[in-house]
Copies of this chain bind each other. A is one copy, B any other.
Amino acid sequence: MKNNTITSPKGFLAAGIHCGIKESGKKDIGIICCPTGAKAAAVFTTNKIVSASVTVCKKHINSTKIEAVVVNSGNANACTGETGLKNAQIMCKTAAQLIDAKANQVLVASTGIIGHQLLMQKVTAGIILAAAQLSASPKAGSDFANAIMTTDTRCKQAFKTVNIDNVKITIAGTAKGAGMIGPNMATTLSFITTDAAITKALLQKALKEAVGNSLNKLTIDGHQSTNDTVIVLASGLAGNKPITKINLQYKKFAAALAQLTTDLAKQMALDAEGATKMFTVVVKDASTRTEAAKAARAIADYALVKCAIHGNDPNWGRIICAVGSCGVKLNPKKLACSIGNITVFKNGRPVKFDPKKASKIISQKEHTITVNVGAGKFSDFCYGCDLSAEYVKINADYHT
Report whether A325 and B47 are in contact in the complex, using a CB–CB cutoff of 8 Å: yes
Report whether A223 and B303 are in contact in the complex, using a CB–CB cutoff of 8 Å: yes
Whole-angstrom distance between the Cβ of A293 and the nearest chain B Cβ: 16
Against B, the Cβ 8 Å flags (1 = close, 0 = not) of A176-201 are 00011010100000000000000000
A364 on interface, CB distance cutoff 8 Å: no
Contact of A47 among B76, B324, B398, B399 (CB under 8 A): B324
Contact of A335 among B49, B304, B308, B318 (CB under 8 A): B49
- Among listed A7-15, A32-40, A86-94, A348-356, interface-contacting one: A348-356
Whole-angstrom distance between the Cβ of A320 and the nearest chain B Cβ: 6
A263 on interface, CB distance cutoff 8 Å: no
Report whether B114 and A321 are in contact in the complex, using a CB–CB cutoff of 8 Å: yes
A248 on interface, CB distance cutoff 8 Å: no
Kindly list chain B residues whose C-beta atoms are within 8 Å of the C-beta of A400.
308, 313-317, 355
Within residues 288 to 321 of chain A, which ones have a CB less than 8 A from any CB in chain B?
302-304, 307-308, 310-311, 313-318, 320-321
Q: How big is the A interface, by class?
A: 35 or more
Given A226-B321, A313-B400, A400-B314, does the pair A304, B79 have CB atoms closer than 8 Å? no
Q: Which residue of B lies closest to A386 (CB)?
A: B396
Report whether A399 and B311 are in contact in the complex, using a CB–CB cutoff of 8 Å: yes
Whole-angstrom distance between the Cβ of A210 and the nearest chain B Cβ: 22
Kindly list chain B residues whose C-beta atoms are within 8 Å of the C-beta of A182.
325
Q: Name which of A50, A182, A314, A325 has the most chain B CB atoms within 10 A of its CB.
A: A325
Kindly list chain B residues whose C-beta atoms are within 8 Å of the C-beta of A323.
48-49
Report whether B49 and A321 are in contact in the complex, using a CB–CB cutoff of 8 Å: yes
A1 on interface, CB distance cutoff 8 Å: no
Whole-angstrom distance between the Cβ of A392 and the nearest chain B Cβ: 5
Contact of A350 among B48, B115, B387, B399 (CB under 8 A): B115
A161 on interface, CB distance cutoff 8 Å: no
- Assembled-state Cα–Cα distance A175/B320 (Å): 24
Contact of A317 among B115, B224, B332 (CB under 8 A): B115
Kindly list chain B residues whose C-beta atoms are within 8 Å of the C-beta of A246.
none
A395 on interface, CB distance cutoff 8 Å: yes
- Assembled-state Cα–Cα distance A303/B385 (Å): 14
A69 on interface, CB distance cutoff 8 Å: no
Kindly list chain B residues whose C-beta atoms are within 8 Å of the C-beta of A225.
321
Given A307-B395, A332-B49, A392-B387, does the pair A348, B79 have CB atoms closer than 8 Å? yes
Against B, the Cβ 8 Å flags (1 = close, 0 = not) of A350-392 are 1000010000000000000000000000000000000111111
Contact of A48 among B76, B222, B311, B332 (CB under 8 A): B332
Kindly list chain B residues whose C-beta atoms are within 8 Å of the C-beta of A223.
302-304, 321-322, 325
- Assembled-state Cα–Cα distance A169/B76 (Å): 57
A397 on interface, CB distance cutoff 8 Å: yes
- Assembled-state Cα–Cα distance A81/B335 (Å): 12
Report whether B314 and A49 are in contact in the complex, using a CB–CB cutoff of 8 Å: no
Q: Which residue of B lies closest to A303 (CB)?
A: B221
A122 on interface, CB distance cutoff 8 Å: no
- Assembled-state Cα–Cα distance A45/B349 (Å): 20
Report whether B79 and A396 are in contact in the complex, using a CB–CB cutoff of 8 Å: no
Kindly list chain B residues whose C-beta atoms are within 8 Å of the C-beta of A388.
392, 396
Q: Which residue of B lies closest to A399 (CB)?
A: B313
Whole-angstrom distance between the Cβ of A119 and the nearest chain B Cβ: 15
**20 residue pairs A–B, Cβ–Cβ below 8 Å:** A46-B325, A47-B321, A47-B325, A48-B330, A49-B324, A50-B324, A76-B317, A114-B318, A115-B345, A184-B325, A221-B304, A223-B321, A223-B322, A226-B321, A303-B391, A308-B395, A310-B396, A315-B399, A316-B400, A389-B389
For the complex of A and B, the 8 pairs showing the least CB-CB separation, nearest first, are A114-B317, A49-B324, A311-B396, A307-B395, A389-B389, A224-B325, A47-B324, A47-B325
